[in-house]
Amino acid sequence: QVQLQESGPGLVKPSETLSLTCSVSNYSISSGYYWGWIRQPPEKGLEWIGSIYHSGTTYHNPSFKSRVTMSVDTSKNHLSLMLRSVTAADTAVYYCARAAYSFGDGYYFDFWGQGTLVTVSS
Amino acid sequence: SYELTQPRSVSVSPGQTARITCSGDGLSRKHAYWYQQKTRQAPVLVIYEATERPSGIPERFSGSTSGTMATLTISGAQVEDEADYSCYSTDSSGNHWVFGGGTRLTVL
């Protein structure tokens, strides 16, 4: 089955850019599906950041839109997230996940990576 | 913005039925999805399209909807079911994908 693995720096300084990669195995990104980024601050709930199709089409959470860039590299079969101007409030476990489609409902996440903790601190 | 509201915590004894609710205006038109998240683990889909169980999810997990409220029911909850449960849905436009705040289920 499809597997996802997030990677990136575990520590980012305030005002800098958080950059993460999600490597996908056992499924070719270019074959379809949207792919999403979700985060979870310590002791808080899940928060959707945005989702991207292999063509580059995106959906964004308005709360992040001005700070987020998502991209897909089909040659490497991975997706990337950049979050600019981070603050301590961006400290969270960041997940990538595959978004399946349900007619009438839209998209939902069926397979998730294990997540990676990113701490924003000087 | 679209919101889904869940109770912060639910507690049951082993063998009892646990019910976790999720309310949102859009749930009368779109299904809820439910995720289980055990400590320091990634979320796992336990219910999709309001009532369907993915392969490998025990039969004691079930979902239902009434009006604008979705309910995840765990019949005969077990200690291993202790986890955070989050509901999920999208808004009417399909452009905003939303999680509920999560419910901590204690089975003790």
Sign of CA dihedral A57, A61, A65, A67: negative
pLDDT reported for residue A32: 85
Residue type (1 letter), B43: P
- Please give the mean pLDDT across all residues of chain B: 96
pLDDT reported for residue A70: 96
pLDDT higher than threshold 80 for residue A65 = no
CB B74 within 8 A of CB B18: yes
HSE toward the beta carbon, residue A107, CA cutoff 13 A: 24
Q: Which residue stretches of chain B have pLDDT < 70?
A: none
pLDDT higher than threshold 80 for residue A97 = yes
Interface of A with B (CB under 8 A): 36, 38, 44-48, 51, 59, 61-62, 95, 102, 104-110, 112-115
Longest alpha-carbon distance in chain B: 41
B-chain residues near A44 (CB < 8 A): 101-102
Structure tokens at B90: 């999208």
HSE toward the beta carbon, residue B37, CA cutoff 13 A: 27
Average pLDDT for residues A10-26, to the nearest whole number?
Answer: 97
Q: Which residues contact B34 (CB under 8 A, 6 or more apart)?
A: B20, B22, B45, B46, B47, B48, B61, B63, B70, B72, B85, B86, B87, B88
CB B101 within 8 A of CB B5: yes
CB B22 within 8 A of CB B101: no
pLDDT tens-place string over residues A25-52: 999 999 889 999 999 999 999 999 999 9
Nearest chain A Cα distance for residue B87, angstroms: 10
- Residue A104's pLDDT band (boundaries 50, 70, 90)? confident
pLDDT higher than threshold 90 for residue A105 = no
- Residue A118's pLDDT band (boundaries 50, 70, 90)? very high
Q: Answer with the residue of higher pLDDT: A54 or B4.
A: B4
Residue type (1 letter), A76: K
Average pLDDT for residues A61-76, to the nearest whole number?
Answer: 92
Among A1, A44, A46, pick the best mutation site for testing chain B contact (most B Cβ within 10 A).
Answer: A46
Average pLDDT for residues A67-76, to the nearest whole number?
Answer: 95
Q: In the β-sheet with A78-83, what is the strand arrangement from edge to edge? A: A3-7, A18-25, A78-83, A68-73
Q: Using CA atoms, how far apart are residues B88 and B55, in angstroms rounded to an integer?
A: 19
CA angle B103, A118, A72 (to 5 degrees): 95
Residue type (1 letter), A58: T
pLDDT reported for residue A47: 97
